[in-house]
Amino acid sequence: MNDENVPLGVPLGLPFCWCSAMFVIFPEPIFAMTYCVATMIDAGFVFASDSRTNAGVDNISTFRKMKIFEQPGERVLMIVNSGNLAVTQATINHLEQAIRRNTEPHLMSVQSMYDVAELIGASLREVRHRDGPFLMENNIDSGANFIVGGQIAGEAQRLFMIYAEGNFIEAMPEVPYFQIGEVKYGKPIIDRVIAAGTSLDDAIKCVLVSFDSTMRSNLTVGLPIDLACYERDTLRLSHSRRFDENDSYMHTLSQSWNEGVRRAFAQLPNFEWN
Amino acid sequence: MNDENVPLGVPLGLPFCWCSAMFVIFPEPIFAMTYCVATMIDAGFVFASDSRTNAGVDNISTFRKMKIFEQPGERVLMIVNSGNLAVTQATINHLEQAIRRNTEPHLMSVQSMYDVAELIGASLREVRHRDGPFLMENNIDSGANFIVGGQIAGEAQRLFMIYAEGNFIEAMPEVPYFQIGEVKYGKPIIDRVIAAGTSLDDAIKCVLVSFDSTMRSNLTVGLPIDLACYERDTLRLSHSRRFDENDSYMHTLSQSWNEGVRRAFAQLPNFEWN
């Protein structure tokens, strides 16, 4: 409500670009003001990302923000991203090119998830180093974030978040998830539900409810949602699926959740003044 | 989770000040990174504000952010604020001084809520015009927001939000509330519950649940909460109360809500892969 004085949906670092969009026909940079969440529980991973991108509210598109790298029986890597779409796409392209050309080290050759996080960070730095100064000239943010989780044979499953600067942190048992993008609306339910011992079924439900809350409150996060699920130590992707506007499970979930929350509210004791 | 690269609890516009706080003993400016909410329903108003302020996470204090002006039978004005504490206090002091010295126009003399909003905006502009340039020299934000609601004899109840620039907007029946400060965590429950026909009892519960969600997720919003309640057309404040750390109703509410939400979650249908 108190954002009325701020041009809606426009990254705050982009005053010039916003002006140009009003008066000139320049393509605006596409920002994934997205929502991604990745949970690592004892049972495995649940990753989800929306696919809404926007370059101003008059230009909303759908791009996949989830990427899976898999060598069944040997490794599974799950990646989601947010930020400047040109930067995230270029980063992923660099990583894929290294695999295709077999330029070591690459995502399918390194021996640990730590190395995987380092490769993504290095690739992101390279892209930002190359493109950042040109974007800066027009006050355009080249920032991007990645979450990567997965398992490589011989190692435990691990989850990392890579900052826009290319450095990264690893998830801990106390906080077994990362979010990027529009994180606040969907955080409370994750905090209430997700713990190391949560089942994959519950984690899937929780992640989808978290998306439901986020989409209700922020138009720039929207269906379809990409969801992927990995069962620990299987070393192959268990399931992946896209939930679109017509998905009957998402409709049921959204409605049941709304009714359940309202019922929980109705059962709260009134406050007595006296 | 993704704020690790940002100094925690420090307003982003304050890099110099943050540095000075690490190396020199300067008092840091106090920011009410607070949460305030004001709902206007057919039955009246519910206003609430936390009272946590911070100047860095090592300096958290309690200041009242709610102010009531009342002439029973003639007018009730309820004001909450967020932002730079020196600025909000100076703004309120200017308004009070005008009343004490009977310098027309003042809050207790003007004939409409619109005039009230205009007076607050003008006072805020005066303070920022006086102090802003000095703050700017140290990259300190002089921004502040106010919400004012109330009723003056002969007029309907009305609710306004005043921007940091001193201009303002009025609440509409479709969105009968305003929030300022840390608004996102506590917004979903308000969106689900508050409507024109909501009872005062439900609005009170809803506002307190909204605070519970916010305090769970953001340490810089904290108890005590000031809550005030106005019944439409009575032209006197109905109730006001402070909920502190030891308040048994807040404990019960928080616990019941947590259980209710978890129950609602448990009742959601699982997703079937196939």
Confirm whether B260 is domain-assigned: no
Please name which of B154, B169, B87, B78 lies closest in space to residue B125, comparing C-alpha atoms.
Answer: B87
Query: Is A185's CB within 8 Å of B184's CB?
Result: yes
Longest CA–CA span in chain B (Å) reads: 76
Confirm whether A17 is domain-assigned: no
Q: How far apart are CA B271 and CA A76, in angstroms?
A: 23
Confirm whether A240 is domain-assigned: yes
HSE, CB side, 13 Å, CA atoms: give it for residue B54: 19
Query: Is B265's CB within 8 Å of A201's CB?
Result: no
Q: How far apart are CA B91 and CA B113, in angstroms?
A: 17
Confirm whether B19 is domain-assigned: no
Confirm whether B235 is domain-assigned: yes
Range(s) of the domain holding residue A208: 44-54+61-250
- Please give the backbone phi and psi of residue A240, each rounded to the nearest 5 degrees, phi first: -150, 150
Instruction: Give the pLDDT of residue A6.
Output: 38
Q: How far apart are CA A107 and CA A117, in angstroms?
A: 9
pLDDT, one tens digit for every residue, chain A (274 residues): 333 343 333 333 333 333 333 334 455 555 546 899 999 999 999 999 988 766 555 555 556 889 999 999 999 999 999 988 899 999 999 999 999 999 999 999 999 999 999 999 999 999 999 999 999 998 888 999 999 999 999 999 999 999 999 999 999 888 899 999 888 899 989 988 999 999 999 999 999 999 998 988 877 788 899 999 999 999 999 999 999 989 999 999 999 999 999 999 999 999 998 7
Confirm whether B183 is domain-assigned: yes
- A42 three-state secondary structure: coil
Question: What ipTM, to 2 d.p.?
Answer: 0.81
Chain B residues touching A210 at Cβ < 8 A: none
Min Cα–Cα distance to chain B from A179, Å: 7
Q: Which distant-in-sequence residues (6+ apart) come within 8 Å of A219 by Cβ?
A: A9, A57
Confirm whether A99 is domain-assigned: yes
Q: CA nearest A253 in B: which residue?
A: B268
CATH number, residue B194: 3.60.20.10
Instruction: Give the pLDDT of residue A179.
Output: 95
Q: Is the Cβ–Cβ distance between A242 and A228 less than 8 Å?
A: no
Q: How far apart are CA B173 and CA A43, in angstroms?
A: 47
Query: Is A269's CB within 8 Å of B249's CB?
Result: yes
Q: Is the Cβ–Cβ distance between B67 and B146 less than 8 Å?
A: no
Chain A residues touching B270 at Cβ < 8 A: 201, 204-205
Confirm whether B222 is domain-assigned: yes
Total domains, chain A: 1
Question: Using omega within 30 degrees of 0 as the cis cutoff, is the peptide bond preceding B72 cis?
Answer: no
Q: How far apart are CA A264 and CA A245, in angstroms?
A: 27
pLDDT, one tens digit for every residue, chain B (274 residues): 333 343 333 333 333 333 333 334 455 555 546 899 999 999 999 999 988 766 555 555 556 889 999 999 999 999 999 988 899 999 999 999 999 999 999 999 999 999 999 999 999 999 999 999 999 998 888 999 999 999 999 999 999 999 999 999 999 888 899 999 888 899 989 988 999 999 999 999 999 999 998 988 877 788 899 999 999 999 999 999 999 989 999 999 999 999 999 999 999 999 998 7
Instruction: Give the pLDDT of residue B22.
Output: 38
Q: Is the Cβ–Cβ distance between B149 and B45 less than 8 Å?
A: yes
Min Cα–Cα distance to chain A from B184, Å: 6
pTM: 0.81
Chain B residues touching A204 at Cβ < 8 A: 270-271
Cβ atoms < 10 Å from Cβ of A152: 22
Instruction: Give the pLDDT of residue B62.
Output: 58
Min Cα–Cα distance to chain A from B172, Å: 12
Please name which of A51, A65, A98, A79 lies closest in space to residue A148, comparing C-alpha atoms.
Answer: A79
Write the burial class of residue B170 (CB in 10 Å: 0-12 exposed, 13-18 middle, 19+ buried). middle
